[in-house]
């Protein structure tokens, strides 16, 4: 009799364990909403410059989207970071170097990006970047960007390549010099959270 109670108790315990194991679990609680990214502040919107220059040529311009900012990259392969001179500033209107021709750029504000590197081979004069004056930058698609609205090529004159970047509004930006590239990041807003 004791043995049959033990068998029955063991069977009951096993049945309860199996019932728990095969019962569908309740849906896991939804993931908590993603916390607002802590975005950098203090970049400011005043002109930024670095005096240097290189004979290495501009070959490409590309963009990227990030949580806190949109990124604009000018590729200058072979140039060391300390050789990449630039002038980046907000302007009322983009004027082409040499001719003074105004170049319309869409957006609430225009950021003029000058890179002290030619967009042509200094020995042959052959173009190294396929941009056409007053036209959008080739291969750059700004669909879905939070800050960028338009891009324009203004040309390359006396070893300086000039680009126009249309942005949503006059927003803070920073400039980074890397080996082989000049980077301009424009924040999505003036606040610390996106």
Phi and psi for 178 in degrees, rounded to 5? -120, 160
Bridge partners (DSSP) listed for residue 50: 86
Question: CA angle 158-109-112, nearest 5°?
Answer: 15
Assigned token pair, 119: 């967009």
The conformation of residue 83, written as its DSSP 8-state character, comes to G
- pTM of this prediction? 0.80
Residue 14: the pLDDT is: 44
Of 25-39, 44-58, 167-181, least confident by mean pLDDT is 25-39
Assigned token pair, 18: 């199996």
- The per-residue pLDDT for range 156-177, each reduced to its tens digit, is 999 999 999 999 999 999 999 9
């Amino acid at each position: 009799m004791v043995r049959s109670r033990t068998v029955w108790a063991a069977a009951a315990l096993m049945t309860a364990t199996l019932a728990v194991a095969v019962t569908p679990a309740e849906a896991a609680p939804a993931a908590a909403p993603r916390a607002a990214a802590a975005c950098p502040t203090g970049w400011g919107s005043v002109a930024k410059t670095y005096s240097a220059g290189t004979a290495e040529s501009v070959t490409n311009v590309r963009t990227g989207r990030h949580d806190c900012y949109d990124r604009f990259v000018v590729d200058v392969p072979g140039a060391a970071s300390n050789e990449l001179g630039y002038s980046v500033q907000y302007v009322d209107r983009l004027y082409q170097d040499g001719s003074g021709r105004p170049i319309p750029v869409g957006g609430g504000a225009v950021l003029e990006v000058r890179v002290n590197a030619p967009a042509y081979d200094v020995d042959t004069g052959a173009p190294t970047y396929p941009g056409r004056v007053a036209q959008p930058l080739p291969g750059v698609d700004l669909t879905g960007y939070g800050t960028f609205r338009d891009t324009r090529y203004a040309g390359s004159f006396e070893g300086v390549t000039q680009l126009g970047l249309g942005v949503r509004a006059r927003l803070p930006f920073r400039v980074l010099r890397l080996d082989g590239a000049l980077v301009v990041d424009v924040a999505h807003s003036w606040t610390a959270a996106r």
